[in-house]
Amino acid sequence: MTPDPHAWTHRYADLGERFATPQHPTPLAAPAVVAVSESMAHTLGWTVGDLCSEAATQALAGNAVWPGTRPWAGVYSGHQFGQWAGQLGDGRAITLGEWPSADGPLEIQLKGAGPTPYSRHGDGRAVWRSAIREFLASEAMHALGVPTTRALCLVASPEPVRRERWEAAAVVTRVAPSFIRFGHFEHFAHTGQHAALRQLADFVIAHFYPACRDAPGNPYAALLAAVTERTADLLAHWQVLGFCHGVMNTDNMSILGLTIDYGPFQFMDEHDPGHVCNHSDHQGRYAFDQQVPVAHWNLFCLGQALLPLMDNTDQALAALAPYEARQAQRELRLMTQKLGWLGQADGDAQTVAALLALLAQQSVDHTAFFWRLADALAGNDAPVRDLFVQPTAFDAWACDWRRRVLSQGQTVVTAQAHLRQHNPAVVLRNHLGQQAIERAERGDWSEVQRLQNALAHPFEVLPGSEDLCAVAPEWASRIAISCSS
């Protein structure tokens, strides 16, 4: 397949070389397309067959350049683990251009496509392990209804890449309306390039937040307020799913409120507020229960970067102020949906808090608990009670929960259907990813495919996927995932 050369657009690259540095991918030996997201391909107007063709394989590996594309890497900076890290940038991601879709122009980006001027000491590559995780997680999050960058396909090569051990190279084709991060704004602010900062903000407003242009007051304060809202909403999704991002540096925060840069992320097994999924995060800065305040801290960094475009600091503070209340309110709303409650009632927040404390105290599996509630509603309590060390603690809580569910005119059958629609049976648990990676490294991609299929339908148990809904085995807690990818 060769996409129509005239259909590509280059809106971001057209901002100029201060933003996007022309950079061709580095060729990769013996590439093979090993996975494709059918739904993503469909959105782009392509088929799985198109993407597996020899011509597409070479282009997606970075060995050939599709006519009409203008590959580039972009500069950004950021705060990493609370410290100013200076200039970073697309060290291993190269954007080909924007492809028109029903959802508007979407950037097509090759992650792992070789060195760029922003690689610092890195090799510009990604390894199979991390590429498989990013590919599966992006599409899984999308199917769960969580804002995220997408993944179109996965290209694997036998070319060796040095990490803690020798591994093999892979390229993930990522797709998003934009990959602009908080760190892009921080870059132009910290280097004193205020004209470029304004150009960037105007670009983001024009294409992604057009309502800010005509908002009363300062348009850049309106942009900060809008990003604050989207970020609050994103964090609500993460928290109710038990999703830990792992590296919430400001360069990993999307200006569109998307989940971006899947590295050491984890869907928690046992509910643990203090859970730290990133083995390099020794201080626990990005622990599960720190994610909500950390995102607020990151928004303050964005606000600081936008200050040169505002009239005074108070405009920024006012834009950031609604974060906590909005995040809490969105999280409570999602949580009440998960519990099968219609609307919201006094005391809901307390009942939810009591539940989460109980799950933590009893080390209950997060995903399995919510999925099994539908059975418990119909009187089949055993599967959910089995998750507790002291099931009587559940019984007491469940009494109030059940009464609340059935006091709303719902029948058990309709409430069960509601519960199943709002609680996934299957998420990308670490050990499931790990098993699929190990099989792929032995040349068998069938487990990646089986997981991909199941994760595309997370709210049901597909025939042959029953084992993917089980709680984690004992060895899962020993899987160590760090930033190295």
Which listed residue (261, 272, 281, 381) binds Mg ion by CB under 5 A? 261
Whole-angstrom distance, CA of residue 339 vs CA of residue 354: 13
DSSP E strands: which ranges in 274-348?
Answer: none
Cβ closest to ligand AMP, residue 73 vs residue 236 = 73
Which does residue 247 bind out of Mg ion, ligand AMP, none, counting CB within 5 to 8 angstroms by kind? ligand AMP
Strands 77-80 and 72-74: unpaired
- Give the contacts of 437 (CB within 8 A, at least 6 positions apart): 128, 129, 132, 133, 448
Cβ closest to Mg ion, residue 149 vs residue 315 = 149
In 3-state terms, what secondary structure has residue 323?
helix
Query: Considering the rule CB under 6 A, would residue 261 count as an interface residue with ligand AMP?
Result: yes
How many residues are given for the chain?
485
Q: What is the rounded radius of gyration, in angstroms, for the C-alpha atoms of the chain?
A: 23
Query: Considering the rule CB under 5 A, would residue 367 count as an interface residue with Mg ion?
Result: no
Which does residue 191 bind out of Mg ion, ligand AMP, none, counting CB within 5 to 8 angstroms by kind? none
Which listed residue (11, 15, 50, 123) binds ligand AMP by CB under 6 A? 123
Distances (CA, A) of 404 to 86, 161, 351, 366, 409: 52, 55, 10, 21, 10
Least spacing, CB of residue 141 vs ligand AMP, in Å: 17
Query: Considering the rule CB under 6 A, would residue 281 count as an interface residue with ligand AMP?
Result: no
432: left (phi over 0), alpha (psi -120 to 50) or beta: alpha
Per-residue string for binding with Mg ion, 236-255, x by CB under 5 A?
----------------x---
Q: How large is the angle between the packed helices 194-208 and 182-190, nearest 10 degrees? A: 160
Per-residue string for binding with ligand AMP, 423-452, x by CB under 6 A?
------------------------------
Cβ closest to ligand AMP, residue 141 vs residue 426 = 141
Which listed residue (64, 215, 462, 483) binds ligand AMP by CB under 6 A? 483
Give φ, ψ of 99 to 5 degrees: -105, 135
Least spacing, CB of residue 422 vs Mg ion, in Å: 31
Query: Considering the rule CB under 6 A, would residue 247 count as an interface residue with ligand AMP?
Result: yes
Q: Let me know if 251 is a catalytic residue.
A: yes
Which listed residue (34, 75, 88, 223) binds ligand AMP by CB under 6 A? 88
Question: Are the beta carbons of 224 and 212 closer than 8 angstroms?
Answer: no
159: left (phi over 0), alpha (psi -120 to 50) or beta: beta
Which listed residue (91, 145, 273, 322) binds ligand AMP by CB under 6 A? 91
Binding residue count for Mg ion, defined by CB under 5 A:
2
| Among the listed residues 31, 58, 66, 72, the one whose alpha carbon sits nearest the alpha carbon of residue 170 | 31
Whole-angstrom distance, CA of residue 272 vs CA of residue 359: 8
Which does residue 88 bind out of ligand AMP, Mg ion, none, counting CB within 5 to 8 angstroms by kind? ligand AMP
Mark the segment that binds ligand AMP (CB under 6 A) among 89-97, 279-287, 441-449, 467-475: 89-97
| Residues lying near Mg ion in the complex (CB under 5 A) | 252, 261
| Residues lying near ligand AMP in the complex (CB under 6 A) | 88-92, 118-119, 122-125, 247, 252, 261, 263, 483
Q: Residues with catalytic annotation?
A: 251
